[in-house]
Amino acid sequence: DAGVIQSPRHEVTEMGQEVTLRCKPISGHNSLFWYRQTMMRGLELLIYFNNNVPIDDSGMPEDRFSAKMPNASFSTLKIQPSEPRDSAVYFCASSRGGAGTGELFFGEGSRLTVL
């Protein structure tokens, strides 16, 4: 298994542009998480899906951020319009049975730079 797959690995864009980050979770995992990592704030949970349904999106910074999970094997995180303060590494993680087991499997991350 290739593990959690994220794309793109790196994205450089200009302020105001739309950014779409993609994630393919591990097959059979029913929980999917999007985290954002910055130097100042560390790893922050953005949104959590269970069985493709958004359960907790309280970490989504503002309306410019949206996330979808149309099926069990694909999720997107969209930022529109992007701003320089959105520059960060965005991680997708999946697990079998939610966070209670504590074992989240992380992707390699998407490093976003907004100029």
Kindly identify the residues of this chain, within the stretch 32-61, that bind other proteins according to CB under 8 A.
Answer: 33, 35, 41-45, 48, 50, 55-56
Task: Choose one: 15-23, 60-68, 71-79, 94-102; the region binding other proteins (CB under 8 A).
Answer: 94-102
Check binding of 25 to other proteins (CB under 8 A).
no
The closest of 40, 49, 36, 50 to 86, measured between CA atoms, is 36
Q: Does 104 bind other proteins (CB under 8 A)?
A: yes
Query: How far is CA 108 from each of CA 9, 65, 80, rounded to the nearest angstrom?
Result: 8, 21, 23
Q: Is 12 exposed, middle or buried (0-12, 13-18, 19+ CB in 10 A)?
A: exposed
Q: Does 98 bind other proteins (CB under 8 A)?
A: yes
For strands 10-13 and 110-114, give the pairing. parallel
Where on the chain is the footprint of other proteins (CB under 8 A)?
3-4, 33, 35, 41-45, 48, 50, 55-56, 91, 93, 98-100, 102-108
